[in-house]
Chain A
Amino acid sequence: MTEEPYRWLEAMGNRREYVLNQVKGGSPVFAVSLEAGVLLLGVGSGQSKVFEIFDRHALAGLGHPADLERVRQMLIDAAHLEAFTRAPEDVTLRRLVSFNLSPQIKTVFEQLFAPPFLVRLLLSELGATRDRDSLIKVQFDGTYSLAARGLAVVAADPADEAAVEDWLTRHLPATTEPGLAIDTLLLAWRHLAHGDELPEGELPTAKPDLAGLEIEAALLRRSTMRVARFETIPAR
C-alpha cells in the first residue's frame, strides 16, 4: 500500500474519511474568552468533554472517549513534567501543542496500520488579560490552528463551525457573565447537534432541551488568588 505515492495518498484520504465518519455523531464543544476568564462548554454524560490540564490550561474535545483520555493524559504528563523540571510559568499552550501533542497525533495518523486518534480537540490557555488568552483547535491528523476571534467551536462537521462562530461573535460580547454565556452557547449547541435555527435579535430565555445529557462547563477564572484557575460551573 505504501510502495507507490498514489496508494499512500489514497490510503491517507481513506483514513481521513474514516475518522470524520467516526466522529460524526460527536457532541460539539466551545471555548470563549470572556472578561471573567476562558469559558469551556460541552454537553455530555459528565466528566467526558471538558478537562483541566494544568494551572491555566484546559481541554475540550469530541470523539472516542478512550482516545480523548489518551490525549488528556499525554497533555497532563507533559505539562507537569515541564512545570517540575522548569517552572509552572514555562508551561505554555503553544509549546504543549506544537512540540508535544501535534507531532504525536500526526505520527499516529500517518501509521497506516495503527489506529488513528478519533478526536477533534479544543485547547485553551488563560492569559493575564483577555487579549493574551489562547484558543487552539487540534485536528485528528495533528494540524492545528489558533482561534483569532476569542472564541472557537469544534463540531462533528468542520464545515458547520465558521457560521456558528460568526453568530457567537455577534451574540456573545466579552463582558457577558459566564452563566449567561452558557445559555447562548447552548443555543449554538442545539443548532449544531439538532439543527435548530440560530435566533437573531433578542435571544430566547427558555432553557434548550439537552436530550437527557449534562452540561459540562468550566471556567479558567482570571481573577482569583488560587494557582489552579480551573473551576467547574454547576448547571443552572
Chain B
Amino acid sequence: MSPPPTIAGDFFALLAQHRISPPHVHASAAPVETQATTVFAFHFADGVFVAGDRRATAGNVIVTETVEKVIELDSTSLLAIAGVPATAFEMARALQTSFEYYRRSQLQALSLPAKVRALSRALRDNLGLTLQGVGVVAPLFVGLDNTALPARPQIYFYDPLGAQFEAADFSASGSGSTTVRSILAFQQRFGSPTPARMTLREATRFALQTLMVAAEFDSATGGVAPESARFATLKWLGQDGIRTLTVTEQAEALS
C-alpha cells in the first residue's frame, strides 16, 4: 500500500509520490502559438455571468470556431482561459482533478481562497514557458464563497505570473479584452440597467452583443452570428451552482 500523501487531499503531492507530474514543455525556439481570445465575467442580478468566444487562431490562421474557453472546474468554479490553449487546457485539467480529489478524499469541498491560490500556483509553475513567451496564460476564475451567507459568487483575475486580484464588478482577458473592458466600464457608469442589475435574459443579450463588438475590432476573437447559428460559450454561477446557456437560449435572448 502506498504511504499517504504528505499533505492530506493534495493531488499534486500524490502525483509527485507516483513520480507523475503535469507535463512541462521545454521550448528552445518559439513555435507558432495557438491563442488569442476574449473572455469576460461580470456580476449580474443572479450571480456572475461568464462569456467566451470560441475562436482559436495561429498567427493569422483561424484554427477552429468551436473551442470551449469557459471550463467548469467543479460544481461551483469556472475557469475562463485566455492565452496558449495547450497550457491552459492542461492547467484546467490538473485543477479539475485536484479539486475533485480534495473534495472526495477529505469529504468537504476546497475553500474558495484555496482554489484561487491553486490557480495562482499553477500559473507560477508555468513561469518558464511564460518567460519564453510560448505558454502565456492569463485566466479569469469565478468561484462561490460559501463562507458568506448567502453564498457569494466572486470574480478573480490573474497576471501571467500568478498574481491574483478580485474584481469588484467585472473583468476581461484576452486579445479582445480592451474593447470588452471599455464596453463594461461604459455600461457600469452610464448604462441602464448596470450589469449588476441585469436579469439573466438582459445579461445574455448584453454578453452576446459585447462579443459581437469585440470581434469587430479583434480578428482573433470569434464573433456571434445568429444567422449561421454561431454563438458563444455562456455560463453563469449562482448560489445553486453553474448553469450553461444553450444555443436556443442564446438565440432567444437576441431575438
Contact = CB atoms under 8 A, between A and B. Distances in A.
A77 B97 contact: no
A228 B75 contact: yes
A84 B1 contact: no
B1 A104 contact: yes
B170 interface: no
B11 A80 contact: yes
B233 to A, nearest CB: 15
B29 interface: no
A11 interface: no
Interface residues of B, number: 20
Nearest to B20: A85
Contacts, number: 43
Contacts of A132: none
A59 B97 CA distance: 19
Contact of A73 (B4, B72, B75): B4
A226 B18 contact: no
Interface string B82-110: 00000000000110010011001101000
A70 interface: yes
Interface in A71-122: 73-74, 76-77, 80-81, 83-85, 104, 108
A52 interface: yes
Interface in B7-23: 11, 14-15, 18, 20
Contacts of B11: 80, 84
Chain A, interface SS category: helix
A76 B104 contact: yes
A80 B101 contact: yes
Nearest to B94: A84
A70 B1 contact: yes
A53 B107 contact: no
Contacts of A73: 4, 105
B98 to A, nearest CB: 9
15 contacts: A51-B107, A53-B104, A73-B4, A73-B105, A74-B1, A76-B101, A77-B2, A80-B14, A80-B101, A81-B14, A81-B15, A81-B18, A83-B97, A85-B20, A228-B74
Ranked 4 nearest A-B pairs via Cβ: A80-B101, A84-B97, A76-B105, A76-B104
